[in-house]
Chains A and B, each alone.
Chain A
Amino acid sequence: MSDRPHLLEFERVNKYFGETHVLKDIDLEVDEREVAVVIGPSGSGKSTLLRCTNRLEEIQSGEIRLDGTPITAPDADVDRLRQRIGMVFQSFNLFPHKTALGNVSLAPIEVKGIPESKARERARTLLERVGLGDQTDSYPSELSGGQQQRVAIARALAMDPEVMLFDEVTSALDPELVGEVLEVMHDLADEGMTMMVVTHEMGFAREVADTITLMADGELVERTPPEQFFDQPTTDRGQQFLSKLL
Protein backbone atom coordinates (compact mmCIF):
# COMPACT_ATOMS: atom_id res chain seq x y z
CA MET A 1 0.00 0.00 0.00
CA SER A 2 2.87 2.32 0.74
CA ASP A 3 6.56 2.46 1.36
CA ARG A 4 6.01 2.33 5.13
CA PRO A 5 7.18 -0.98 6.63
CA HIS A 6 4.64 -3.73 7.24
CA LEU A 7 3.90 -4.08 10.91
CA LEU A 8 1.52 -7.02 10.64
CA GLU A 9 1.80 -9.63 7.94
CA PHE A 10 -0.58 -12.49 7.26
CA GLU A 11 0.72 -15.10 4.86
CA ARG A 12 -1.50 -17.86 3.50
CA VAL A 13 -3.34 -18.12 6.80
CA ASN A 14 -5.79 -21.02 7.09
CA LYS A 15 -8.05 -21.70 10.02
CA TYR A 16 -10.61 -24.45 10.58
CA PHE A 17 -13.23 -24.91 13.24
CA GLY A 18 -13.56 -28.67 12.99
CA GLU A 19 -14.59 -29.23 9.38
CA THR A 20 -15.48 -25.63 8.73
CA HIS A 21 -12.87 -23.66 6.82
CA VAL A 22 -13.20 -20.22 8.40
CA LEU A 23 -10.08 -18.48 7.07
CA LYS A 24 -9.01 -19.36 3.54
CA ASP A 25 -5.48 -18.51 2.43
CA ILE A 26 -5.52 -15.03 3.88
CA ASP A 27 -2.71 -12.77 2.67
CA LEU A 28 -2.69 -9.32 4.20
CA GLU A 29 -0.25 -6.65 5.29
CA VAL A 30 -0.97 -3.85 7.71
CA ASP A 31 1.51 -1.00 7.64
CA GLU A 32 2.77 0.99 10.53
CA ARG A 33 0.31 3.79 11.38
CA GLU A 34 -2.29 2.26 9.10
CA VAL A 35 -5.93 2.06 10.11
CA ALA A 36 -7.11 -1.14 8.46
CA VAL A 37 -10.85 -1.54 8.66
CA VAL A 38 -12.15 -5.05 8.07
CA ILE A 39 -15.77 -5.39 7.04
CA GLY A 40 -17.97 -8.14 5.74
CA PRO A 41 -21.14 -10.06 6.52
CA SER A 42 -21.34 -11.89 9.85
CA GLY A 43 -19.66 -15.27 9.78
CA SER A 44 -17.17 -14.10 7.18
CA GLY A 45 -14.19 -14.66 9.50
CA LYS A 46 -13.35 -11.05 10.43
CA SER A 47 -13.36 -11.59 14.17
CA THR A 48 -11.57 -14.90 13.83
CA LEU A 49 -8.83 -13.13 11.90
CA LEU A 50 -8.34 -10.70 14.79
CA ARG A 51 -8.46 -13.46 17.39
CA CYS A 52 -5.80 -15.40 15.49
CA THR A 53 -3.61 -12.31 15.48
CA ASN A 54 -3.03 -12.54 19.21
CA ARG A 55 -3.49 -16.28 19.32
CA LEU A 56 -6.78 -16.44 21.15
CA GLU A 57 -7.36 -18.87 18.28
CA GLU A 58 -4.73 -21.05 16.64
CA ILE A 59 -4.32 -21.21 12.89
CA GLN A 60 -3.74 -24.50 11.07
CA SER A 61 -1.36 -23.28 8.38
CA GLY A 62 0.34 -20.12 7.21
CA GLU A 63 2.05 -17.50 9.31
CA ILE A 64 1.24 -14.22 11.04
CA ARG A 65 4.16 -11.90 11.80
CA LEU A 66 4.44 -8.83 13.98
CA ASP A 67 7.25 -6.60 12.81
CA GLY A 68 8.94 -9.64 11.30
CA THR A 69 8.52 -11.89 14.36
CA PRO A 70 6.34 -14.92 13.68
CA ILE A 71 3.43 -14.79 16.13
CA THR A 72 2.12 -18.17 15.13
CA ALA A 73 5.36 -20.14 15.50
CA PRO A 74 4.95 -22.98 18.01
CA ASP A 75 7.82 -21.67 20.11
CA ALA A 76 6.70 -18.02 20.02
CA ASP A 77 6.61 -16.28 23.41
CA VAL A 78 2.88 -15.67 23.30
CA ASP A 79 2.62 -13.66 26.52
CA ARG A 80 5.39 -11.34 25.35
CA LEU A 81 3.88 -10.89 21.88
CA ARG A 82 0.45 -10.20 23.32
CA GLN A 83 1.88 -7.28 25.26
CA ARG A 84 2.69 -5.69 21.92
CA ILE A 85 -0.83 -6.25 20.56
CA GLY A 86 -3.71 -4.47 22.27
CA MET A 87 -7.19 -5.87 21.90
CA VAL A 88 -10.63 -4.46 22.63
CA PHE A 89 -13.66 -6.76 22.64
CA GLN A 90 -17.28 -6.36 21.70
CA SER A 91 -18.32 -7.29 25.24
CA PHE A 92 -15.75 -5.01 26.98
CA ASN A 93 -14.60 -7.80 29.32
CA LEU A 94 -13.62 -5.36 32.04
CA PHE A 95 -12.64 -6.94 35.35
CA PRO A 96 -15.75 -6.35 37.49
CA HIS A 97 -13.92 -6.65 40.80
CA LYS A 98 -11.57 -3.79 39.98
CA THR A 99 -12.16 -0.06 39.57
CA ALA A 100 -11.52 1.67 36.26
CA LEU A 101 -8.09 2.59 37.57
CA GLY A 102 -7.49 -0.98 38.76
CA ASN A 103 -8.48 -2.35 35.38
CA VAL A 104 -6.04 -0.10 33.57
CA SER A 105 -3.11 -0.49 35.98
CA LEU A 106 -3.34 -4.24 36.64
CA ALA A 107 -1.36 -5.57 33.69
CA PRO A 108 1.42 -2.95 33.82
CA ILE A 109 1.94 -3.83 37.50
CA GLU A 110 1.66 -7.59 37.06
CA VAL A 111 3.33 -8.07 33.71
CA LYS A 112 5.77 -5.24 33.37
CA GLY A 113 6.54 -4.92 37.05
CA ILE A 114 5.93 -1.18 37.05
CA PRO A 115 5.69 0.20 40.61
CA GLU A 116 2.08 0.55 41.70
CA SER A 117 2.12 4.32 42.26
CA LYS A 118 3.62 4.92 38.85
CA ALA A 119 1.23 2.54 37.12
CA ARG A 120 -1.74 4.20 38.78
CA GLU A 121 -0.55 7.63 37.74
CA ARG A 122 -0.17 6.44 34.16
CA ALA A 123 -3.61 4.82 34.31
CA ARG A 124 -5.09 8.13 35.48
CA THR A 125 -3.53 9.88 32.49
CA LEU A 126 -4.90 7.26 30.11
CA LEU A 127 -8.37 7.49 31.62
CA GLU A 128 -8.26 11.24 31.21
CA ARG A 129 -7.26 10.73 27.62
CA VAL A 130 -10.41 8.68 26.94
CA GLY A 131 -12.47 11.29 28.78
CA LEU A 132 -12.94 9.39 32.04
CA GLY A 133 -10.68 11.34 34.38
CA ASP A 134 -13.59 11.72 36.81
CA GLN A 135 -14.49 8.00 36.86
CA THR A 136 -11.20 6.48 37.98
CA ASP A 137 -12.69 4.97 41.15
CA SER A 138 -15.86 3.67 39.56
CA TYR A 139 -16.48 -0.03 39.18
CA PRO A 140 -17.50 -1.31 35.74
CA SER A 141 -21.05 -1.95 36.97
CA GLU A 142 -21.34 1.78 37.71
CA LEU A 143 -20.37 2.82 34.19
CA SER A 144 -22.37 2.99 30.97
CA GLY A 145 -21.47 0.70 28.10
CA GLY A 146 -19.70 3.50 26.29
CA GLN A 147 -17.69 4.38 29.38
CA GLN A 148 -16.80 0.74 29.96
CA GLN A 149 -15.57 0.40 26.42
CA ARG A 150 -13.42 3.49 26.78
CA VAL A 151 -11.90 2.03 29.95
CA ALA A 152 -11.21 -1.13 27.94
CA ILE A 153 -9.38 0.94 25.33
CA ALA A 154 -7.35 2.69 28.05
CA ARG A 155 -6.58 -0.72 29.57
CA ALA A 156 -5.19 -1.98 26.26
CA LEU A 157 -3.19 1.22 25.72
CA ALA A 158 -1.59 0.87 29.15
CA MET A 159 0.64 -1.88 27.80
CA ASP A 160 1.96 0.48 25.10
CA PRO A 161 1.03 -1.85 22.26
CA GLU A 162 2.39 -1.41 18.75
CA VAL A 163 -0.92 -2.32 17.20
CA MET A 164 -4.50 -2.24 18.44
CA LEU A 165 -7.18 -4.75 17.44
CA PHE A 166 -10.79 -3.64 17.71
CA ASP A 167 -13.34 -6.45 17.48
CA GLU A 168 -16.78 -4.93 16.80
CA VAL A 169 -16.30 -2.68 19.79
CA THR A 170 -19.48 -0.68 19.26
CA SER A 171 -21.83 -3.56 18.40
CA ALA A 172 -22.99 -4.11 21.98
CA LEU A 173 -23.60 -0.42 22.66
CA ASP A 174 -26.80 1.57 22.69
CA PRO A 175 -26.82 3.75 19.58
CA GLU A 176 -26.35 7.00 21.52
CA LEU A 177 -23.14 5.65 23.11
CA VAL A 178 -21.46 4.58 19.89
CA GLY A 179 -20.17 8.05 19.10
CA GLU A 180 -18.06 8.53 22.23
CA VAL A 181 -16.19 5.27 21.58
CA LEU A 182 -15.62 5.99 17.90
CA GLU A 183 -14.34 9.42 18.86
CA VAL A 184 -11.64 7.87 21.06
CA MET A 185 -10.69 5.54 18.23
CA HIS A 186 -10.59 8.47 15.83
CA ASP A 187 -8.18 10.29 18.16
CA LEU A 188 -6.01 7.22 18.39
CA ALA A 189 -5.85 6.98 14.63
CA ASP A 190 -4.91 10.66 14.40
CA GLU A 191 -2.08 10.04 16.85
CA GLY A 192 -0.68 7.45 14.49
CA MET A 193 -1.68 4.20 16.19
CA THR A 194 -1.65 1.17 13.94
CA MET A 195 -5.15 -0.29 14.11
CA MET A 196 -7.06 -3.26 12.78
CA VAL A 197 -10.73 -2.53 13.16
CA VAL A 198 -13.54 -4.99 12.58
CA THR A 199 -16.71 -2.94 12.47
CA HIS A 200 -20.12 -2.41 10.98
CA GLU A 201 -19.82 1.38 11.34
CA MET A 202 -19.49 2.40 7.72
CA GLY A 203 -19.33 6.09 8.55
CA PHE A 204 -16.29 5.46 10.70
CA ALA A 205 -14.77 3.23 8.02
CA ARG A 206 -15.17 5.88 5.36
CA GLU A 207 -13.82 8.65 7.54
CA VAL A 208 -10.94 7.06 9.45
CA ALA A 209 -9.81 4.03 7.48
CA ASP A 210 -6.68 4.03 5.35
CA THR A 211 -7.75 0.76 3.79
CA ILE A 212 -10.94 -1.22 3.63
CA THR A 213 -10.64 -4.99 3.65
CA LEU A 214 -13.74 -6.90 2.67
CA MET A 215 -14.08 -10.47 3.81
CA ALA A 216 -16.72 -13.00 2.81
CA ASP A 217 -16.96 -16.72 3.55
CA GLY A 218 -13.47 -16.78 5.04
CA GLU A 219 -11.86 -15.19 2.03
CA LEU A 220 -10.26 -11.81 1.64
CA VAL A 221 -12.30 -10.41 -1.22
CA GLU A 222 -11.12 -6.91 -1.71
CA ARG A 223 -8.66 -4.47 -0.20
CA THR A 224 -8.88 -0.87 -1.35
CA PRO A 225 -8.75 2.68 -0.03
CA PRO A 226 -12.13 3.73 1.38
CA GLU A 227 -12.91 6.38 -1.26
CA GLN A 228 -12.60 3.77 -3.96
CA PHE A 229 -14.44 1.08 -2.00
CA PHE A 230 -17.46 3.15 -1.19
CA ASP A 231 -17.70 4.73 -4.65
CA GLN A 232 -16.77 1.92 -6.93
CA PRO A 233 -15.88 -1.48 -5.43
CA THR A 234 -13.68 -3.44 -7.78
CA THR A 235 -15.33 -6.81 -7.13
CA ASP A 236 -18.86 -8.12 -7.51
CA ARG A 237 -18.86 -9.24 -3.88
CA GLY A 238 -17.91 -5.71 -2.89
CA GLN A 239 -20.76 -4.26 -4.90
CA GLN A 240 -23.16 -6.82 -3.47
CA PHE A 241 -22.11 -6.02 0.08
CA LEU A 242 -22.46 -2.30 -0.46
CA SER A 243 -25.86 -2.62 -2.09
CA LYS A 244 -27.13 -4.51 0.96
CA LEU A 245 -25.95 -1.70 3.20
CA LEU A 246 -27.95 0.92 1.36
Chain B
Amino acid sequence: MGTSHSSHDAEASGSTQIASDETLRRLSMAVAGAFTLLVLAFLAILFLGAYIPVESFGEGFVDYSLLVQILTPPSGYYTAFLNVIGVVVVSAITSVIAGIFVGLGRVSKTPFTARISRAYVEFFRGTPLLFQLIAVYYGIPALFGTGNFPIQNFGWPAAVIGLTLNHAAYTGEAVRGGIESIPEGQMEAARTLGMGYVQSMREVILPQAWRNAVPAVGNDMIILVKDTSLLTVIAFPELISQWQYTYSNTFDAWTPLVVVGALYLLITVPLSSIVQRAGSVVETGDRR
Protein backbone atom coordinates (compact mmCIF):
# COMPACT_ATOMS: atom_id res chain seq x y z
CA MET B 1 0.00 0.00 0.00
CA GLY B 2 2.82 2.37 0.97
CA THR B 3 4.64 1.94 -2.32
CA SER B 4 1.66 2.45 -4.57
CA HIS B 5 0.71 5.52 -2.59
CA SER B 6 4.12 7.16 -2.82
CA SER B 7 4.60 6.33 -6.51
CA HIS B 8 1.25 7.90 -7.21
CA ASP B 9 2.35 11.03 -5.36
CA ALA B 10 5.61 11.19 -7.26
CA GLU B 11 3.78 10.88 -10.54
CA ALA B 12 1.35 13.61 -9.64
CA SER B 13 4.05 15.99 -8.46
CA GLY B 14 6.23 15.16 -11.49
CA SER B 15 3.65 16.44 -13.88
CA THR B 16 2.37 19.35 -11.88
CA GLN B 17 5.01 20.82 -9.59
CA ILE B 18 8.65 20.17 -10.51
CA ALA B 19 8.66 21.54 -14.01
CA SER B 20 6.52 22.31 -16.98
CA ASP B 21 6.93 20.35 -20.19
CA GLU B 22 8.72 23.27 -21.80
CA THR B 23 11.25 23.61 -18.97
CA LEU B 24 11.86 19.86 -19.06
CA ARG B 25 12.46 20.01 -22.78
CA ARG B 26 15.00 22.80 -22.41
CA LEU B 27 16.70 21.02 -19.53
CA SER B 28 17.07 17.80 -21.50
CA MET B 29 18.45 19.70 -24.47
CA ALA B 30 20.97 21.44 -22.22
CA VAL B 31 22.11 18.13 -20.74
CA ALA B 32 22.38 16.50 -24.15
CA GLY B 33 24.23 19.52 -25.52
CA ALA B 34 26.71 19.56 -22.66
CA PHE B 35 27.31 15.85 -23.07
CA THR B 36 27.93 16.26 -26.81
CA LEU B 37 30.38 19.10 -26.16
CA LEU B 38 32.30 17.01 -23.62
CA VAL B 39 32.58 14.11 -26.03
CA LEU B 40 33.68 16.38 -28.87
CA ALA B 41 36.25 18.04 -26.64
CA PHE B 42 37.59 14.65 -25.57
CA LEU B 43 37.81 13.45 -29.18
CA ALA B 44 39.51 16.70 -30.19
CA ILE B 45 42.18 16.29 -27.52
CA LEU B 46 42.56 12.63 -28.41
CA PHE B 47 42.99 13.21 -32.13
CA LEU B 48 44.63 16.67 -32.13
CA GLY B 49 46.48 16.63 -28.79
CA ALA B 50 49.80 15.95 -30.45
CA TYR B 51 49.51 19.22 -32.38
CA ILE B 52 48.73 21.49 -29.49
CA PRO B 53 51.73 23.82 -29.34
CA VAL B 54 51.92 23.98 -25.56
CA GLU B 55 54.95 22.66 -23.75
CA SER B 56 54.17 19.52 -21.68
CA PHE B 57 50.46 19.51 -22.60
CA GLY B 58 50.64 15.75 -22.30
CA GLU B 59 51.29 12.79 -24.47
CA GLY B 60 49.73 9.52 -25.53
CA PHE B 61 47.44 11.10 -28.09
CA VAL B 62 46.63 9.50 -31.40
CA ASP B 63 49.82 9.10 -33.34
CA TYR B 64 49.04 9.42 -37.03
CA SER B 65 52.22 7.84 -38.29
CA LEU B 66 51.47 4.76 -36.18
CA LEU B 67 47.86 4.88 -37.30
CA VAL B 68 48.92 4.81 -40.95
CA GLN B 69 51.40 2.06 -40.16
CA ILE B 70 48.90 -0.28 -38.49
CA LEU B 71 46.26 0.38 -41.12
CA THR B 72 48.57 -0.32 -44.06
CA PRO B 73 47.87 -3.74 -45.53
CA PRO B 74 48.79 -6.40 -44.87
CA SER B 75 47.73 -5.54 -41.36
CA GLY B 76 46.90 -7.88 -38.51
CA TYR B 77 43.90 -5.65 -37.80
CA TYR B 78 42.21 -6.66 -41.03
CA THR B 79 42.82 -10.32 -40.35
CA ALA B 80 41.48 -9.87 -36.81
CA PHE B 81 38.46 -7.98 -38.14
CA LEU B 82 37.67 -10.73 -40.63
CA ASN B 83 38.22 -13.36 -37.94
CA VAL B 84 35.69 -11.61 -35.72
CA ILE B 85 33.15 -11.45 -38.54
CA GLY B 86 33.80 -15.09 -39.39
CA VAL B 87 33.43 -16.41 -35.87
CA VAL B 88 30.33 -14.26 -35.33
CA VAL B 89 28.63 -15.54 -38.48
CA VAL B 90 29.37 -19.18 -37.69
CA SER B 91 28.50 -18.88 -33.99
CA ALA B 92 25.34 -16.89 -34.74
CA ILE B 93 24.06 -19.66 -36.98
CA THR B 94 25.00 -22.48 -34.59
CA SER B 95 23.69 -20.70 -31.52
CA VAL B 96 20.37 -19.83 -33.15
CA ILE B 97 19.87 -23.44 -34.25
CA ALA B 98 20.90 -24.75 -30.83
CA GLY B 99 18.80 -22.03 -29.20
CA ILE B 100 15.66 -23.18 -31.00
CA PHE B 101 16.16 -26.63 -29.53
CA VAL B 102 16.84 -25.18 -26.08
CA GLY B 103 13.66 -23.10 -26.36
CA LEU B 104 11.63 -26.10 -27.48
CA GLY B 105 13.07 -28.07 -24.59
CA ARG B 106 12.10 -25.32 -22.15
CA VAL B 107 8.42 -25.50 -23.16
CA SER B 108 8.39 -29.30 -23.40
CA LYS B 109 5.60 -31.10 -21.59
CA THR B 110 8.05 -33.88 -20.74
CA PRO B 111 9.41 -33.01 -17.28
CA PHE B 112 12.82 -34.58 -17.95
CA THR B 113 13.40 -32.55 -21.13
CA ALA B 114 12.12 -29.38 -19.51
CA ARG B 115 14.42 -29.81 -16.50
CA ILE B 116 17.50 -30.59 -18.57
CA SER B 117 16.91 -27.49 -20.71
CA ARG B 118 16.35 -25.41 -17.62
CA ALA B 119 19.59 -26.66 -16.08
CA TYR B 120 21.42 -25.92 -19.32
CA VAL B 121 20.19 -22.34 -19.37
CA GLU B 122 20.90 -21.82 -15.68
CA PHE B 123 24.46 -23.09 -16.06
CA PHE B 124 25.44 -21.19 -19.18
CA ARG B 125 23.76 -17.96 -18.11
CA GLY B 126 24.98 -18.40 -14.56
CA THR B 127 28.70 -18.76 -15.29
CA PRO B 128 30.82 -16.17 -17.10
CA LEU B 129 31.54 -16.66 -20.78
CA LEU B 130 35.21 -16.22 -19.93
CA PHE B 131 34.98 -19.23 -17.61
CA GLN B 132 33.28 -21.27 -20.32
CA LEU B 133 35.87 -20.34 -22.94
CA ILE B 134 38.69 -21.30 -20.62
CA ALA B 135 36.95 -24.56 -19.74
CA VAL B 136 36.64 -25.43 -23.42
CA TYR B 137 40.04 -24.25 -24.63
CA TYR B 138 42.19 -25.33 -21.69
CA GLY B 139 39.91 -27.79 -19.93
CA ILE B 140 38.98 -30.16 -22.75
CA PRO B 141 42.54 -30.75 -24.06
CA ALA B 142 43.68 -31.25 -20.44
CA LEU B 143 41.39 -34.27 -20.21
CA PHE B 144 43.40 -35.96 -22.96
CA GLY B 145 46.70 -35.58 -21.14
CA THR B 146 49.67 -33.48 -22.22
CA GLY B 147 50.37 -33.66 -25.92
CA ASN B 148 47.61 -36.15 -26.67
CA PHE B 149 44.91 -33.74 -27.81
CA PRO B 150 44.30 -34.48 -31.50
CA ILE B 151 43.13 -31.05 -32.71
CA GLN B 152 46.01 -28.76 -33.68
CA ASN B 153 44.49 -25.30 -34.08
CA PHE B 154 41.89 -25.55 -31.34
CA GLY B 155 41.39 -21.78 -31.07
CA TRP B 156 38.76 -21.55 -33.78
CA PRO B 157 36.70 -24.61 -32.78
CA ALA B 158 36.97 -23.66 -29.12
CA ALA B 159 35.75 -20.14 -29.92
CA VAL B 160 32.73 -21.42 -31.82
CA ILE B 161 31.93 -24.05 -29.19
CA GLY B 162 32.24 -21.62 -26.29
CA LEU B 163 30.24 -18.82 -27.93
CA THR B 164 27.57 -21.27 -29.10
CA LEU B 165 27.12 -22.95 -25.73
CA ASN B 166 26.73 -19.55 -24.11
CA HIS B 167 24.55 -17.82 -26.65
CA ALA B 168 22.31 -20.84 -27.23
CA ALA B 169 21.19 -20.33 -23.63
CA TYR B 170 20.20 -16.70 -24.29
CA THR B 171 18.70 -17.42 -27.70
CA GLY B 172 16.85 -20.35 -26.15
CA GLU B 173 15.24 -18.06 -23.61
CA ALA B 174 14.26 -15.65 -26.38
CA VAL B 175 12.69 -18.51 -28.33
CA ARG B 176 10.91 -19.74 -25.21
CA GLY B 177 9.51 -16.25 -24.65
CA GLY B 178 8.38 -16.19 -28.26
CA ILE B 179 6.65 -19.54 -27.96
CA GLU B 180 4.98 -18.65 -24.69
CA SER B 181 3.62 -15.44 -26.18
CA ILE B 182 1.56 -17.47 -28.69
CA PRO B 183 -1.97 -18.07 -27.39
CA GLU B 184 -2.79 -21.65 -26.34
CA GLY B 185 -5.58 -21.67 -28.93
CA GLN B 186 -3.07 -21.79 -31.79
CA MET B 187 -1.70 -25.14 -30.67
CA GLU B 188 -5.22 -26.40 -29.97
CA ALA B 189 -6.44 -25.37 -33.41
CA ALA B 190 -3.50 -27.10 -35.09
CA ARG B 191 -3.86 -30.28 -33.03
CA THR B 192 -7.62 -30.31 -33.62
CA LEU B 193 -6.95 -30.50 -37.35
CA GLY B 194 -5.01 -33.70 -36.76
CA MET B 195 -1.54 -32.18 -36.94
CA GLY B 196 1.01 -33.74 -34.60
CA TYR B 197 2.98 -31.82 -31.96
CA VAL B 198 6.08 -31.47 -34.13
CA GLN B 199 4.05 -30.47 -37.19
CA SER B 200 2.08 -27.93 -35.19
CA MET B 201 5.27 -26.48 -33.73
CA ARG B 202 6.96 -26.27 -37.11
CA GLU B 203 4.05 -24.92 -39.15
CA VAL B 204 2.04 -22.89 -36.67
CA ILE B 205 3.85 -22.03 -33.44
CA LEU B 206 7.49 -21.46 -34.41
CA PRO B 207 6.85 -19.15 -37.39
CA GLN B 208 4.85 -16.88 -35.09
CA ALA B 209 7.13 -17.34 -32.09
CA TRP B 210 10.14 -16.53 -34.22
CA ARG B 211 8.75 -13.11 -35.08
CA ASN B 212 8.31 -12.32 -31.43
CA ALA B 213 11.79 -13.57 -30.65
CA VAL B 214 13.58 -11.62 -33.39
CA PRO B 215 14.27 -8.44 -31.37
CA ALA B 216 15.68 -10.39 -28.42
CA VAL B 217 17.73 -12.70 -30.65
CA GLY B 218 19.02 -9.71 -32.62
CA ASN B 219 20.10 -8.02 -29.40
CA ASP B 220 21.93 -11.15 -28.43
CA MET B 221 23.74 -11.22 -31.76
CA ILE B 222 25.08 -7.74 -31.07
CA ILE B 223 26.29 -8.94 -27.69
CA LEU B 224 27.84 -11.91 -29.48
CA VAL B 225 29.98 -9.53 -31.56
CA LYS B 226 31.27 -7.82 -28.44
CA ASP B 227 31.81 -11.13 -26.67
CA THR B 228 34.43 -12.05 -29.26
CA SER B 229 36.74 -9.69 -27.35
CA LEU B 230 36.98 -12.39 -24.66
CA LEU B 231 38.48 -14.77 -27.20
CA THR B 232 41.75 -12.99 -26.60
CA VAL B 233 42.34 -15.29 -23.62
CA ILE B 234 42.20 -18.40 -25.79
CA ALA B 235 44.74 -17.08 -28.29
CA PHE B 236 42.13 -16.43 -30.95
CA PRO B 237 43.50 -13.69 -33.24
CA GLU B 238 40.86 -11.01 -32.74
CA LEU B 239 40.87 -7.25 -32.22
CA ILE B 240 41.80 -7.00 -28.56
CA SER B 241 44.78 -9.28 -29.04
CA GLN B 242 45.84 -7.01 -31.92
CA TRP B 243 45.64 -4.07 -29.58
CA GLN B 244 47.76 -5.92 -27.05
CA TYR B 245 50.31 -6.70 -29.72
CA THR B 246 50.59 -3.10 -30.86
CA TYR B 247 50.58 -1.77 -27.31
CA SER B 248 53.34 -4.05 -26.10
CA ASN B 249 55.50 -2.99 -29.05
CA THR B 250 54.85 0.75 -28.96
CA PHE B 251 53.36 1.54 -25.53
CA ASP B 252 50.84 3.60 -27.44
CA ALA B 253 47.41 2.81 -25.94
CA TRP B 254 45.11 5.16 -27.80
CA THR B 255 46.12 4.78 -31.41
CA PRO B 256 45.32 1.04 -31.64
CA LEU B 257 42.37 1.49 -29.26
CA VAL B 258 40.75 3.98 -31.63
CA VAL B 259 41.17 1.50 -34.47
CA VAL B 260 39.73 -1.36 -32.44
CA GLY B 261 36.73 0.69 -31.31
CA ALA B 262 36.01 1.83 -34.86
CA LEU B 263 36.19 -1.72 -36.19
CA TYR B 264 33.74 -3.03 -33.57
CA LEU B 265 31.32 -0.24 -34.42
CA LEU B 266 31.74 -1.06 -38.09
CA ILE B 267 30.09 -4.40 -37.29
CA THR B 268 27.63 -3.51 -34.55
CA VAL B 269 26.10 -0.33 -36.00
CA PRO B 270 24.95 -1.92 -39.29
CA LEU B 271 23.91 -5.05 -37.39
CA SER B 272 21.80 -2.98 -35.00
CA SER B 273 20.00 -1.26 -37.87
CA ILE B 274 19.33 -4.66 -39.46
CA VAL B 275 17.92 -5.87 -36.15
CA GLN B 276 15.74 -2.79 -35.88
CA ARG B 277 14.44 -3.23 -39.39
CA ALA B 278 13.73 -6.91 -38.72
CA GLY B 279 11.81 -5.82 -35.64
CA SER B 280 9.60 -3.43 -37.60
CA VAL B 281 8.93 -6.08 -40.26
CA VAL B 282 7.74 -8.22 -37.38
CA GLU B 283 5.33 -5.52 -36.26
CA THR B 284 3.76 -4.87 -39.64
CA GLY B 285 3.44 -8.55 -40.41
CA ASP B 286 4.65 -10.81 -43.14
CA ARG B 287 3.42 -10.43 -46.70
CA ARG B 288 5.15 -13.28 -48.44
User: A residues near B, CB below 8 A?
Assistant: 54, 56, 79-80, 82-83, 85-87, 89, 91, 93-97, 106-107, 110-111, 139, 141, 152, 155-156, 159
Closest to A83 in B: B194
What's the count of A-B pairs with C-beta under 8 Å? 63
Residues in B neighbouring A107, C-beta threshold 8 A: 190, 193-195
B219 contacts the other chain (CB 8 A) = no
Given A95-B189, A110-B203: A141 in contact with B194 (beta carbons within 8 A): no
Given A107-B194, A155-B193: A89 in contact with B188 (beta carbons within 8 A): yes
Q: Are B207 and A56 in contact (CB under 8 A)?
A: no
Q: How far is the CA of A86 from the CA of B193 in the complex (A)?
A: 7
Residues in B neighbouring A155, C-beta threshold 8 A: 193
Chain B nearest CB, measured from A71 CB (Å): 13
Given A87-B192, A97-B286, A155-B193: A111 in contact with B185 (beta carbons within 8 A): no
B204 contacts the other chain (CB 8 A) = yes
B14 contacts the other chain (CB 8 A) = no
Q: How far is the CA of A91 from the CA of B185 in the complex (A)?
A: 8
Of all A-B residue pairs in the complex, the 5 with the closest CB atoms, nearest first, are: A83-B194, A107-B193, A93-B189, A93-B185, A87-B192
Closest to A102 in B: B288
Closest to B207 in A: A97
Could you pull out 15 A-B pairs where Cβ atoms are within 8 angstroms? A79-B196, A82-B191, A82-B194, A89-B185, A93-B183, A94-B189, A96-B208, A97-B286, A106-B203, A106-B204, A110-B199, A111-B193, A111-B195, A139-B285, A159-B193
Q: Are A82 and B203 in contact (CB under 8 A)?
A: no
Chain B contact residue count (CB 8 A cutoff): 20
Q: Are A95 and B204 in contact (CB under 8 A)?
A: yes
- Over the window 51-66 of chain B, the binary record of Cβ atoms lying under 8 Å from chain A Cβ atoms (1 yes, 0 no) is 0000000000000000
Chain B nearest CB, measured from A62 CB (Å): 21
Chain A nearest CB, measured from B30 CB (Å): 44
B186 contacts the other chain (CB 8 A) = yes
- B188, B189, B191, B285 — which one has the most chain A CB atoms within 10 A of its CB? B189
Residues in B neighbouring A141, C-beta threshold 8 A: 285
Residues in A neighbouring B203, C-beta threshold 8 A: 106, 110
Q: Are B208 and A97 in contact (CB under 8 A)?
A: yes
Q: How far is the CA of A106 from the CA of B286 in the complex (A)?
A: 17
Closest to A81 in B: B194
Residues in B neighbouring A82, C-beta threshold 8 A: 191-194
Closest to A152 in B: B189
Q: How far is the CA of A83 from the CA of B190 in the complex (A)?
A: 11
Residues in A neighbouring B194, C-beta threshold 8 A: 79-80, 82-83, 107, 111, 159
Residues in A neighbouring B196, C-beta threshold 8 A: 79
Residues in B neighbouring A56, C-beta threshold 8 A: 188, 191-192
Residues in A neighbouring B183, C-beta threshold 8 A: 91, 93
Closest to B191 in A: A82
